[in-house]
Amino acid sequence: MSPLPGDLFARRLREERERLGVSQAEVARRMAARLGSNVDATAVTRIEQQTRAVRLDEAVAAAEALGVPLITLVTDNYARENEAEIQNQLAELALAEQEWERLRQKIHRITQTIHQLSAEREASRSHALGVAPDTAGDYNLNPETQAVLDARMSSTRNRPTNEIADPDA
């Protein structure tokens, strides 16, 4: 049988207070400041010892005094560990979504480049088909491209035949 919420609150209040290294008197002082009324240190002692029931406004003030969500003081370790795992998974999901967005943008850029290159290829093919065979020799290359081709052809003509056949030789 699971403990009653009041019993769980008392145990968890003590655990969290001790984990944070805060005295019962300090918790009472912080609670009083939040509630705007006097809270005696013995009230915190009695709540932790389960000899005094905690009021809802006191429970909220105690959680705030310790800087923890109220759920922390009314749930057992399994629920807190489950909550921590949920938070871990949410953080991992956020990272995965960022990576997905980065990859989606990369895919978009690549797709745009492919479309652009395909259009250029088609334009080049259309131009080549539009050149009449009898005037094909009249087509002039860009002077820089022509110079590179001429230099390449010149170096190929001056090499022995066996080197041309095997460029790695």
The string of pLDDT tens digits covering residues 14-29 is: 999 999 999 999 999 9
- Answer yes or no: is pLDDT of 137 > 60: no
pLDDT of residue 148: 78
Which position has the token pair 């479309």?
Answer: 115
The 10s digit of each residue's pLDDT in 76-135 is: 765 666 777 888 888 999 999 999 999 999 999 999 999 998 888 888 877 777 665 555
Cβ atoms 71, 60 nearer than 8 A: no
> How far is Cα 102 from Cα 160, in angstroms, rounded to an integer?
52
Which position has the token pair 């003030």?
Answer: 61
What residues have CB less than 8 Å from 44, skipping those under 6 apart? Answer: 13, 17, 24, 25, 27, 28, 31, 62
Confidence of residue 54 (pLDDT cuts 50, 70, 90): very high
For residue 132, give the 3-state DSSP assignment: coil
Cβ atoms 49, 10 nearer than 8 A: yes
Cβ atoms 9, 59 nearer than 8 A: yes
**Identity of residue 13:** L
pTM > 0.85: no
* CB-based burial, 112-121: b 16+ in 10 Å, e otherwise: eeeeeeeeee
- Answer yes or no: is pLDDT of 32 > 90: yes
> How far is Cα 16 from Cα 12, in angstroms, rounded to an integer?
6
Confidence of residue 164 (pLDDT cuts 50, 70, 90): very low
pLDDT of residue 165: 47
The Cβ of residue 147 has, within 10 Å, a number of other Cβ atoms equal to: 11
Q: Which CATH superfamily is 5-75 part of?
A: lambda repressor-like DNA-binding domains (1.10.260.40)
Higher pLDDT, 74 or 63: 63
